[in-house]
Structure 1
Amino acid sequence: MMLTKATEPKQGNKPKFDEGHVLMSLMYISELQPVGRITLMKKIELSEASMKTLLRRLKELSLISTDPVGGNILTNEGQKIVSCVKEHSLIRSVNLKSLGWNSVMLILRKGAEILEKIPVLTLRDEIIRLGAEKVLICIYNKDGKIEIPPKTEEMPLKNLIEEIKANCTKCDKGDLILFATPNDTHLAYLVLAYLLRGLKIC
């Protein structure tokens, strides 16, 4: 996967950025192109040295091209990744009042199938390892209902499920829905990169 290649150590040095930063960079370049390094550095909150390295790696992978005057733009290959990510996911901020969470919400299209490969508790632990404080994992099941695995007998979750449904106007059957705190864009993209790698897409 290209996102992983961009973060591989070179000459024994591991870069000070991760797949989340790589994905964020591509998304911001897509949105703002042509865009300069300083603007990206502020948006993504990386040091200038790390941003330089990241952009150099994206160029080496033929995902971006750089005009000395205009700035960075996506190549066709870079655009393919961005289009794939947009097709398969949606990220936004959500205040889950039932839980008192100011969270980031990530919808992964047809992503519920990842729970056939990774048990839900293992997935939750992995997302916490990536930097989340709290995680709620749901699926939009084949009957068009919100489900919070693992199922337990008569969980008192009516208000929470109604709230998730209200925030899920763009969900479809088979989608994986995640809420995580803190409400952090980088965390959301890091989790998304992990899930896309697990499903072998983009």
Structure 2
Amino acid sequence: MDIQIVLTKAVETRQGNKPKFDEGHVIMSLFYISQLQPVGRILLMKKTGLSEASIKTLLKRLRELNLIQTDLVGGNTLTEQGNKIVSCIKNISTIKDVTLKSLGWNSSMLIVRGGAELLKEISVLHLRDEIIRLGAEKILVCVYTEEGKIEIPPKTEEMSLRGLLDEIKENCNNCGPNDLIIFLVPNEEHLGYLTLTFILKVLKKC
């Protein structure tokens, strides 16, 4: 089962009731279960910001999709299928907190390995519009080139942006050729995962 099917089924409306969580919460929950397993419902509520009713529903759906298993005493753990999905996403993406002093931004930095190909499918403007729709207030889209340089498409004015480009490069010690780098404000973990789900859909990854 790939991530597209998981996300669609996990957040689908049932019997006229739309769940009060989204695709970003699904990925967040899987990641937290991976990090903390076995983990109980209460801790997942705190980590994801979801209500008890919502986390119950989400965990039930993850069990139905055979992504987690629940022990009434020990808590929730990933199944083999759940581990495969989390491993795939971890292999192609990283989200971390970064302060861009040049811009005065406290931001989330999302790195998608090989993700620059996304810009062949959609324009930077379209990508920005989609991320704003997801809740971002400020966005900076960058590409790590094959030459090891930082570019800000559609055109990079290296002279005027030198300080910013150097700062991005300093925070990009685990970047590689053709990686897509997106800085998001506000710096909210959920927004980072929600943005990642959109990119995974377009690139058809995992």
Shorter-chain-normalised TM-score: which range? Answer: over 0.9
> What do the CA deviations read for 1:22-70 (whole angstroms, capped 9, x no partner)?
0000000000000000110011000000000000000000000000110
Aligned equivalent of 2:152, options 136, 148, 153: 148
State the partner residue of 1:128. 132
State the partner residue of 1:138. 142
Residues 153 and 178 of structure 1, relative CA distance in 2, 3 Å threshold:
closer
- Match status 1:3 vs 2:10: no
State the partner residue of 2:19. 15
State the partner residue of 2:100. 96
SS in 1 for 2:166: helix
2-structure distance, mates of 1:155, 1:4? 45
Residues 43 and 78 of structure 1, relative CA distance in 2, 3 Å threshold:
same
> What do the CA deviations read for 1:143-179 (whole angstroms, capped 9, x no partner)?
2110000115566100000000000000000100000
Structure 1 gap ranges (5+): none
> What do the CA deviations read for 1:95-122 (whole angstroms, capped 9, x no partner)?
0000000000000000000000010011
Q: Which moved more, 1:148-157 or 1:161-170?
A: 148-157
State the partner residue of 1:28. 32
Residues 185 and 153 of structure 1, relative CA distance in 2, 3 Å threshold:
closer
State the partner residue of 2:193. 189
Letter in 2 for 1:29: I
1-structure distance, mates of 2:70, 2:160? 54
- Match status 1:66 vs 2:46: no
Moved over 3 A (4+): 152-155
Return the TM-score normalized by structure 2: 0.96
Aligned equivalent of 1:174, options 175, 178, 185: 178
Question: What's the C-alpha RMSD, in Å, of the aligned pairs?
Answer: 1.0
2-structure distance, mates of 1:60, 1:153? 50
- Match status 1:37 vs 2:41: yes
SS in 1 for 2:111: strand
Q: Which moved more, 1:140-149 or 1:166-175?
A: 140-149
State the partner residue of 1:86. 90
1-structure distance, mates of 2:154, 2:184? 17
Residues 181 and 76 of structure 1, relative CA distance in 2, 3 Å threshold:
same
Residues 153 and 186 of structure 1, relative CA distance in 2, 3 Å threshold:
closer
Q: Shift of residue 4 of structure 1?
A: 2.4
2-structure distance, mates of 1:100, 1:15? 36
SS in 2 for 1:66: strand
2-structure distance, mates of 1:105, 1:31? 20
2-structure distance, mates of 1:118, 1:11? 35
Return the TM-score normalized by structure 1: 0.98
Letter in 2 for 1:146: I
Aligned length: 202
